Structures are given as structure tokens and as C-alpha cells.
Amino acid sequence: MHELSVTENILAIAIAHAEQNGADQVSAIYLVIGEFSNLLPKCIQYYWNILVQGTICEKSVLHFDHRPAIFHCENCNHEYEIHQEMTGCPNCHSSNVSLVSGNEFWVDSIEIIKNQE
Amino acid sequence: MTTVRVPVVENILNANDFVANENRKIFSDHKIFCINIMAAPGAGKTALIVKTIALLKKEMRIGVIEGDTASVTIDSDKVTLAGAPAVQVTTMGECHMDAMMVRKGMEQLPLDSLDLVIIENIGNLICPAEWDLGSHANALIASVAEGDDKPYKYPNIYRNLNVLLVTKTDLIPYVEYDIDRFRTGVELLNPGLITFPTSAKTGEGFEPWLTWLKSKVADAKA
Ligand SMILES: Nc1nc2c(ncn2[C@@H]2O[C@H](COP(=O)(O)OP(=O)(O)OP(=O)(O)O)[C@@H](O)[C@H]2O)c(=O)[nH]1
Ligand SMILES: [Mg+2]
Ligand SMILES: [Zn+2]
């Protein structure tokens, strides 16, 4: 729901790192996005296409690396993925569980082009 | 022409986190305890804040930062009437407050003469969870009228909480609400979360909530 401000942040991060590395162009942005981050890639892509115009990122492509929501059972150490409704441990039915992945949300790397060495 | 992959690994919400940490430090330096109250629209945030002010204002000085999507001052007027300085920050339609908005609110509050600052976040169960505002504690108000399935549908907001208020308990006889189903969902997301069932209408359950709040304010002074 806050995809616009998030997309602005992604662009700011990409531009900063592109400039630091002497890029002439940014060709790709690699994002890591967890199931529980509540962000819609489609929506980010939509804002991205608008925001990049006239920037060094104008011709870049967004790549989303999706991470599933995975819980770890503190009782029996079982790890399981959540798709729809949260449940306790399917192995031992304990509800003493913690989220180990699914909250991710970061820029992993960017791909830049330099016209000459 | 060469193509290079540059590692970044930068959290996208970083700028907000930076401001939030500064906010927290400013509150702490003023020996203020700050609590961020989140909830769905109409859950009873303002009612709870107003009642809390009424019951605590003889013991401590309370300031309120009211987040609103539009510049209507309904909530901040109620708080002012209850006897606490309130500042309103408008998000211009955004669905959540961020740390910078809170900073603007802080600049208008008499921080030197306050013990407790309450932030009333925008009514929304999704976005506020992602934004650290610089409070010392995050609270959620879940009214029984919303139903017992909310932890299952909005898991994120439950995970970053320090305290949970189950409100409008006076309505339990009139709505279908299975407290065990609700508690099981909460327990999966946030084991052992401190929970206070309250009613702002009858005042039921306020004592333990106020005791908790007072102990936090006292800790901030220490
Ligand atoms: N029965 C009952 N009604 C309540 C209680 N708390 C709040 N209400 C009512 O619920 C409605 C919404 O309360 P508010 O305090 O304005 O809710 P809010 O969360 O601040 O709403 P927004 O700021 O608009 O998102 C009002 O009509 C209140 O009178 C309660 O404990 N019991
Ligand atoms: Mg309100
Ligand atoms: Zn298990």
C-alpha cells in the first residue's frame, strides 16, 4: 500500500550506488521481497516506469527475488512454509513458532553499464 | 562498454529508520516514554486515548501526536478537550505515518514539560506496521467488533507489537467473537504478548493498562 514511497526509496538507493561506481547507465535492479512485506511487485513496477524517466535508471529492469514465509518450530525444530492461513507446527502442533523468513525487503544489487574503462 | 554487478544490500526503508532512531533518542533525552497506537479505522484509538488522559492527567503530563489522512481536526479537538496538548500531522492521503511526520509533530510539542507522548497512527492494519516512528513501544487496539480472525488476516502488525489492547469488550455479548481463536492467532505471531482487554465505554479493564503505562513512564525517568 505504500508502494510509491518505497519505489522512490529504491530509486534513490540505485542512483546513489550507480554514481558511486561511475555508471553511465543502470541496466538492472535486483530486489529481495518477502511474502510478509505486503508489497505488490506489480505496483512497484508501475511506479518505477514513471519515476525512472530521465534518470540513469531509465532503461533498467526490475528483478524480484521472492522469499516465502517460513516458520521455525521452537519445540521440534521443524521448518514449514505458510501459504494462506497461519498455522501452528504441522509436525508437533506446537504454537511456539517464530518467523525465520518472509520479512525481507532490500535492494540486493544493481547492474551497471560503463561506456569505457 | 562493460557491465558490472554492484552489490548493494541496503534496506529500502533505511531513511525512515534513521529518522526514527533519532526520534527515539530525542524522546529518551527528554525522559519521555513514547507509545505508537495503531488500529483499524474506528477501533477506538481516540476513545482509549481520551479516557487514558482523563485518568492519568493528574499524575503525569501527556502530549499527543494525532495522525490523520485529511486535515479534519475531530480527533485532536477531542484530545485537547480532554486536557492534553495535541498536535495534528496530516499525511496528505498516505495510509501510514512515517518518522519524519512524527518529527514535525514533536517540534510543536512542549517536550521539556512532558512525561508521555502518545501517537495516534492512521487507521490501517497493514502499512503502519512497516514504519518505525521512533516510539519506545508499539500498541495495537483490536476491537472485538472487528472479529476474532484479524491476526490471521493481518499478521504483520501483530509481530512488531509490545502491547495489545482488546477493546470494546462491552460489545462481546452482541458480536460473534471467539477470544480463544483470537488469542491462538496472536500467540503464533507474538508469543507472550502483553494483552489488556478494555472498554473505553465502561472503563472496564483500564486499571492494569494504566499500571503498565505508568511503569513504562517511570522507567523512562530512571
Ligand atoms: N461500545 C463501545 N464503543 C466504543 C468503545 N471505544 C470506542 N467506541 C466507539 O467506537 C467509535 C469509534 O471510536 P474512535 O475512538 O473514534 O475510533 P478511532 O480508532 O480513533 O477511529 P479513527 O481515528 O477514525 O480511525 C465511536 O463511536 C466510539 O464511541 C468501547 O470501548 N465500547
Ligand atoms: Mg481516532
Ligand atoms: Zn513442531
- The neighbour count for residue A30, using CB atoms within 10 Å, is 19
Query: What φ, ψ does residue B104 adopt, rounded to 5°?
Result: -60, -40
Q: What is the pLDDT of residues A74-106, one digit of tens each?
A: 899 999 998 767 788 999 998 888 888 887 888
Span from the CA of A115 to the centroid of ligand 2 (angstroms): 55
Domain residue ranges in chain B: 7-221
Number of domains in chain A: 1
- Dihedral, B152, B128, B163, B208 alpha carbons, nearest 10: -110
A74 within domain boundaries: no
Look at residue B91 in the predicted model and tell me its pLDDT.
78
Among A50, A61, A46, which residue's Cα sits nearest to residue A14?
A61
Look at residue B15 in the predicted model and tell me its pLDDT.
66
Q: Considering only CB atoms, which chain B residues are within 8 Å of A116?
A: 1
pTM: 0.75
Say which ligand is closest to the CA of A98.
3
CA distance B90 to chain A (A): 16
Look at residue B35 in the predicted model and tell me its pLDDT.
98
Q: What is the pLDDT of residues B93-126, one digit of tens each?
A: 777 788 888 999 999 999 999 999 999 999 888 8
A90 within domain boundaries: no
> How does DSSP assign A94-117, residue by residue?
---EEEEES--EEEEEEEEEES--
**Within 13 Å, how many C-alpha atoms sit on residue A115's CB side?**
3
Answer for the pair A109, B8: CB distance below 8 angstroms, yes or no: yes
Answer for the pair B123, B40: CB distance below 8 angstroms, yes or no: yes
Q: What is the pLDDT of residues B16-55, one digit of tens each?
A: 787 899 999 999 999 999 999 999 999 999 999 999 999 9
A2 has a pLDDT exceeding 90 = no
- Tell me whether residue B50 is exposed, middle or buried, using C-beta atoms within 10 angstroms of its C-beta: 0 to 12, 13 to 18, 19 or more: buried
Interface of A with B in 92-111 (CB under 8 A): 95-99, 105-111
Is the ipTM above a cut-off of 0.95? no
pLDDT average, residue stretch B192-213: 97
Residue A67 makes CB contacts below 8 A (sequence gap 6+) with: A32, A33, A34, A35, A101, A102, A104
pLDDT average, residue stretch B144-153: 93
Helices and strands (H and E) in chain A: how many: 2, 6
* C-alpha span between A14 and A71 (Å, rounded): 31
| Structural domain span for residue A46 | 2-68+102-113
Q: What is the pLDDT of residues A14-35, one digit of tens each?
A: 999 999 999 999 999 999 998 8
Look at residue B28 in the predicted model and tell me its pLDDT.
97
CATH number, position A32: 3.30.2320.50
Whether A108 and B9 lie within 8 Å, measured CB to CB: yes
Span from the CA of B218 to the centroid of ligand 1 (angstroms): 28
Q: Confidence band (pLDDT; 50, 70, 90) for B166?
A: very high
User: Is B7-221 assigned to CATH 3.20.20.80?
Assistant: no
The number of angstroms, rounded, from the C-alpha of B215 to the middle of its chain's C-alpha atoms is 17
pLDDT average, residue stretch B176-188: 92
A21 within domain boundaries: yes
Look at residue A117 in the predicted model and tell me its pLDDT.
61
pLDDT average, residue stretch A32-60: 90
- Among A52-66, B63-77, B98-112, B192-206, name the one with the lowest average pLDDT: B63-77
Percent of chain B with pLDDT strictly greater than 70: 99
Among B124, B98, B149, which residue's Cα sits nearest to residue B42?
B124
A75 within domain boundaries: no
Look at residue B105 in the predicted model and tell me its pLDDT.
94
A86 within domain boundaries: no
